[in-house]
Amino acid sequence: MNDLDAQSLSLTFGNGVQALRDVSFTVESSEFVSLLGPSGCGKSTLLRIIAGLLPPTTGTMTGNAAAASQRNELSFVFQSATLLPWRTVAQNVRLPLELAGADNDASRRVAEMVELVGLGDFANSYPHELSGGMQMRASLARALVIKPRLLLLDEPFGALDDITRQHLNEELLSLWQRDKFTAIFVTHNVSEAVFLGQRVMVMTPRPGNIHGMFAIPFPYPRARSLRSSAEFAQWNGVLSNSIHEGHAQVGTS
């Protein structure tokens, strides 16, 4: 069953720049999809359209997740942690529940989520007391505390070192396997896209379009050792080639 069905989405900004052109795709319920493409190709713009933060110039979006934001079933993790500096980790994680009208179960859910992302000992710490990786863990906990149907992630680990990034990739997949939310993860890192996604959608440079769709065959849970396998390297090559083909396609169009 499709959670999201996007048909012919295009977006042209008021200054005449066309960010997206005729983008069509589907996302199934509880699927984890990586959205891969070069910087400036419109990945983040597409994610904001899905979230309802930007209206498309043309095209439609339907499916169970299309109206998730109106039902408080959508969470968005941005490139930076965007934590409120005057609130502790627990208070930051609690914020979406407060905005939704926190119930009596809120404190338990906050404590559970903070513990789940490995920040149990830092629940009363402030953002400036945390490392970058810990801040992103707090941001993930805040996004997941409402138990979203749809989780959108816009290059959330891009500013982190490779080791921290890989750890958070693994933790994110553990959370997804536990809660089975639908996830769309934007990245320009080929290895990250392969490791995370059941499918990878490769975008062309601006105006962004879906150049290729790839089903990644590795079963879950995906062990850390997968990254050093020949099959993993082969899929990195396949997707890298697709990105280059997308560049060439736009250059000749």
Give the pLDDT confidence of 105-147 residue by residue, as tens digits: 888 999 999 998 999 999 999 999 999 999 999 999 999 998 8
In a domain, 127, yes or no: yes
Cis omega (within 30 of 0) on the bond before 207? yes
Contact predicate 18/12, CB 8 Å:
yes
pLDDT value of position 64: 73
Residues 155 and 132 in one domain: no
pLDDT value of position 25: 94
Q: What is the CATH number of the domain that holds 30?
A: 3.40.50.300
In a domain, 81, yes or no: no
Q: What is the DSSP letter of 43?
A: H
What pLDDT, in 10s, does the model give residues 209-219?
999 999 999 99
Domain stops at, among 147, 172, 196: 147
Residues 45 and 99 in one domain: no
The pTM is what? Answer: 0.92
Domain span at residue 114 reads 86-147
Residues 58 and 167 in one domain: yes
In a domain, 80, yes or no: no
What dihedral do alpha carbons 123, 129, 98, 65 form, nearest 10°? -100
E strand residue ranges, the chain:
2-12, 18-28, 32-36, 58-62, 74-77, 150-154, 182-187, 199-203, 210-215
**247 contacts: CB under 8 Å, gap ≥ 6:** 38, 204, 205
Residues 168 and 118 in one domain: no
pLDDT value of position 99: 86
Residues 16 and 48 in one domain: yes
3-state SS, residue 237: helix
CB-side neighbour CA atoms (13 Å) of 178: 12
CA distance 78 to 154: 5
pLDDT value of position 39: 86
Residues 245 and 172 in one domain: yes
pLDDT value of position 250: 60
Residues 123 and 231 in one domain: no
Contact predicate 142/95, CB 8 Å:
yes
Residues 138 and 49 in one domain: no
Residues 119 and 177 in one domain: no
Residue ranges of the chain with pLDDT lower than 50? 253
Picking from 109, 154, 111, 110, the residue whose alpha carbon sits closest to that of residue 136 is: 154
Domain stops at, among 147, 164, 181: 147
Residues 203 and 218 in one domain: yes
Number of domains in the chain: 2
Contact predicate 197/216, CB 8 Å:
yes
pLDDT value of position 251: 55
